[in-house]
Amino acid sequence: MPLDVKIPPMGESISTGILAKWHVKNGDTVQKDQALFELETDKITSEGTAEVAGVITLKVDAGAEVKIGQVVASIEAGAGGAAPAAAPAAPAAEAKPAEAKAAGVESPAVRRLAGETGVNPADVAGTGKGGRVTKGDMLSAAAPAAPAPGPAPAAKPAPAPTPAAPAAPGSRQTRKKMTPLRQRIAERLVSAQHSAALLTTFNEVDMSAVMALRSKHQDEFVKKNGLKLGFMSFFVKAVVHALKAVPSINSMIEGDTLVQNNFYDLGVAVSTEKGLMVPVIRDCDTLPMAAVERAITDAAAKAREGKITLADLEGGVFTITNGGTFGSLLSTPIINPPQSAILGMHAINDRPVAVNGQVVIRPMMYVALTYDHRLVDGREAVTFLVKVKQGIEDPARLLLGI
């Protein structure tokens, strides 16, 4: 009897989504745990996988809106899973890595890069968990292959939608439906501006001390922890320090009630191809710097590879966003409701500044704090930003709690 393939539950607040893409075709033989489709909702993008091996029959077209629990395909169990297991010969064993990758266990980002670059994931040595090929592996493999004239033409058929766009002669526009995630982002940003009294205050930070600290201890930090020490972990610690000094920033409004948070779960904005996501780093006040760095790195990777879950996005009390990674010199970020404030980091540029009566060149960063003036006064917002500035310019303050 065929086994129904249903849209899995995604959380209480999600009831529908868009079946954005099928990773298999009607009548294909699929393996157990193989990725079958990509589902886009207003919060996250996830994959549906096969519960059994067999031959699949598709019942819903790509691009259709589907409901949680809806049957979108069926699998006739038995035919697909028996064949690979029945071949004990050595050549079959050699083919297993390629078969596993061809079975669709790669992330959406890896499959997209495979289509864009022509690099076969089966030919790439994976550095991810269990030997899984990551986006970074694909980019590294594609870099040397890009200049080669041979493979490039063979890879062109995959990204068919791109050349199809200008097909209509004289067309000056292309149109496509907004994804549920992009629609949700738009709704939340507009809602934040309509429902909150937003105001932004600015300051500038001398990054010399943090940069010197990183340079001095980077090699030892990498050797001990297996990852680099970045700027974001310093700002996370500085924000926690400032939130403790100005607790009104760590609060939110629920109806006519003011809710004071006494924990420090901070959101770190991550830009993905599908839109901005804000995974939350839990208990930042208790995490050491290495744990903060690892949590940020892991969360960003999950977001960009489409593996983020609702639990990863919920419960943040404050958000940090870094437009400096794209070269932004200054901006006014919008708060992430129901939070009361957001810190914007920006590009680091050498600028002349006055220090002890002398003009010197220092690596400077503008920082911006957008806050909800309904529950945060200007004095508190400025004090908060000064505390962040002090923590970055003199990191010893973060250790001493002053």
Positions marked active-site: 373, 377
What are the helix and strand counts (H, E) for the chain?
A: 13, 19
- Return all residues near 32 (Cβ < 8 A) that are at least 6 apart: 50, 51, 52, 53, 81
Question: What SS3 class is residue 308?
Answer: coil
Dihedral over Cα of 6, 12, 15, 19: its sign: negative
Cα 282 from Cα 262, distance rounded (Å): 13
Determine phi and psi for 351, rounding to 5 degrees. -140, 150
Helix 289-304 to helix 208-225 angle (10° resolution) is: 80
CB-CB contact of 266 with 343 (8 Å): no
Cα 20 from Cα 320, distance rounded (Å): 30
Which amino acid belongs to residue 86?
Answer: A
Per-residue HEC secondary structure of 136-183 comes to HHHHHHHHHHCCCCCHHHHHCCCCCHHHHHHHCCCCCCCCCCCCHHHH
